[in-house]
Amino acid sequence: MKTARKSSNNIMRKYYQLILVVVCFISIVTLLIYRHEYYRLRYVLEVLNFFGKPGLSEVEFCGPGFNATMLSEILRNSSMEVRETPPLFQQIDENFYSYSSFLRSYNKYEKLEITEAHIINTIVIGKAHVQPRFRCNIWFENSSKPKAGRFSFKAASEIISDYQLYIFECSLSKNLGKPSGISFYVNDYNINPMHAPINKVIQVNTRRKVRERSSIKFVNNIEPAFCVIPNHVPIVSRDAFIEFLVFHHIMGVNYFTIYDGMISEDVIKRLNLFPSDITQWDIQFFPLNYPFVFAKSYKIVRRAIELDCLFRHYKYDKEESSKVSHVAVLSWDEFLVPRVHNSFKAVLDDFDPIRALRTYTVEPLLFCLNQIDDDNVEIGYPAIMKKTHYYNIPQDKVPIHIRNLETMTNFDDLFNLTTSIKKIPLELLGAHKYSVCRDLKTFSPGGYNETEMQVFQHKFEGAMIKYGQSLVSNKVYRLYTSGQIWEKNSIDNVRDML
């Protein structure tokens, strides 16, 4: 009996040894797989480090040989939310830089007739005193050889600091398939056109269904979208970033397209942790590279971004749900603040009930961040709500233009934005610009001191204060101020915190 028990123990011991061997084998295989994935990730990071991240200098980030498609693929595989090919300034020659290209078509390309032409519009910034003289090539899907198109151009803005916004048009009379890219090159036979940078084209609509008009107010058809660009000093704090998005979301804006090369990837990644049913916003991010001195070219770059923003939102069919109806371009330090109403939609519904105006303008009010805080404002409110006086100081201010897509029934209307324009009175809507006020002729990072500020004319304006409680009680803002938003790594954890 003892011998049998001993034999049984030996068998059990052998089974244990076999299990240990199997576990050891599985662990080694898992370790090898982990090691393989680690080196793959390390390689990707090395590639990202080689090509650079958003915010690189203009020398590194653009040029005749820069490939926008390559950057797009890198961004698609990163954690940033880039759902489309990003618009990028690419050098055509020493005087002209292309930004983004849009394909115009009346029908889907599967239904095109032979007689219909390809027309591609490209947003370009160039020197105003130089006449554009280029040729263009159109690249097609499933083809390695381009076809030469017919080049033409038109000015899309007034001259601003010797720069001008252009629309370069490349057209082709025959249907040779669906165009996928466009390139421009100098009319010089010593230059190989195959080496010209290629812009990926984005298909847009050229006709939109006209909404029936009447004297009765429309119901629930205002869907605003804001396109956000850097400040004059292209650095935005994380506080200002969150305050801008949360405030305007409270005002009824759900669509944000961000054009900024200085936003941290970590900030975008953290925002993407929030489920859409919690935030109920749609944020699209495009890195912004600018091949000019930003302070000198700020206005012309802003115009280029506005046109890109309009083109992208115009491509949506009117039959689609949640389509954008109004578009505005704002910088991070600009806030549209309703006076009487509690939402941006209600302001537009009151000001233009039948949607007849194409452009609404709002003159900005300058609120100096270096003014004294208002003691009557709650302690927990953000700094922008404690600045309750706007000043009459010579400072860079750009009027805010709100474009009404409801009045643009065909694509050419996008180039005629000054038709039926009207200013929204301050009693309805204010455009608050929060900036450090300083003497533009001298270098003073801190701006005017307390004594100097008292010299300038100023007026009390407390419209922002009434939104203080709504802002600080917002779920996203509360998570941000508590610091927890930057510590959680999954959607489930974010839900637990709510």
Phi and psi at 357, nearest 5°, equal -85, 140
Residues in the chain: 498
What's the confidence (pLDDT) of residue 78?
39
Mean pLDDT of the chain: 78
Q: How far apart are CA 336 and CA 433, in angstroms?
A: 9
Q: What is the pLDDT of residue 262?
A: 81
Bridge partner list, 96: 126
- pLDDT tens-place string over residues 53-95: 333 333 333 333 334 443 444 344 333 444 566 788 988 888 9
Q: Which residue has the higher pLDDT, 325 or 144?
A: 325
Of 120, 157, 154, 153, nearest to 137 by C-alpha is 120
Mean pLDDT of 218-234: 82
For residue 278, is pLDDT > 50? yes
Whether 378 shows a pLDDT value over 70: the answer reads yes
Mean pLDDT of 417-442: 89
* Residue the block writes with tokens 């637990």: 496
CB 126 within 8 A of CB 164: yes
Contacts of 406 (CB under 8 A, 6+ apart): 211, 325, 326, 355
Three-state DSSP class for residue 158: coil
| Residue 464 per-residue DSSP state | G
Listed residue (169, 110, 102, 108) closest to 134, CA to CA: 169
Q: Can you give the pLDDT at residue 22?
A: 82
- Which one has a higher pLDDT value, 491 or 144? 144
**Reported confidence tier of residue 297, pLDDT bands at 50, 70, 90:** confident
Conformational region of residue 439, where left means phi above 0, alpha means psi within -120 to 50, and beta covers everything else: beta
Side chain identity, residue 480: Y
DSSP label at 358? Answer: S
* 227/329 Cα distance (integer angstroms): 5
Phi, psi of 50 (to 5 degrees): -70, -45
Strands 429-435 and 421-423: unpaired
Q: What does the pLDDT look like over 456-491, one tens digit per residue?
A: 899 999 899 999 999 999 888 888 887 766 555 544
Task: Indicate the burial class of 473 (C-beta count within 10 angstroms; 0-12, 13-18, 19 or more).
Answer: exposed
Q: Exposure string (b/e) for 424-441, b if CB count within 10 Å is 16 or more?
A: beeebbbbbbbbbbbeee
AA letter at 488: K
Lowest mean pLDDT among 200-204, 359-363, 456-460: 200-204
User: In a 3-state reduction of DSSP, which class is residue 402?
Assistant: strand
Do residues 260 and 229 lie in contact, with contact meaning Cβ atoms separated by under 8 Å?
yes
The answer for residues whose C-beta is within 8 angstroms of residue 42's C-beta and 6 or more apart is none
> What mean pLDDT do residues 93-118 have?
72
Complete edge-to-edge strand list for the sheet that includes strand 334-338: 334-338, 429-435, 364-368, 389-391, 458-460
Residue 122 has φ and ψ, to the nearest 5°, of: -125, 130
Q: Which one-letter DSSP state was computed for residue 480?
A: H
* pLDDT higher than threshold 80 for residue 223: yes
Give the CA distances from residue 197 to residues 89, 121, 250, 294, 381, in Å, rounded to whole numbers and listed in that order.
10, 16, 42, 23, 49
Q: What is the pLDDT of residues 24-36, one digit of tens each?
A: 888 887 877 776 6
The amino acid at 70: M
Q: Rounded mean pLDDT of 128-145?
A: 86
d(CA 268, CA 245): 12
Interval 242-261: pLDDT, tens: 899 999 999 999 999 999 88
Q: What band does 221 get if pLDDT is binned at 50, 70 and 90? A: confident
Whether 49 shows a pLDDT value over 50: the answer reads no
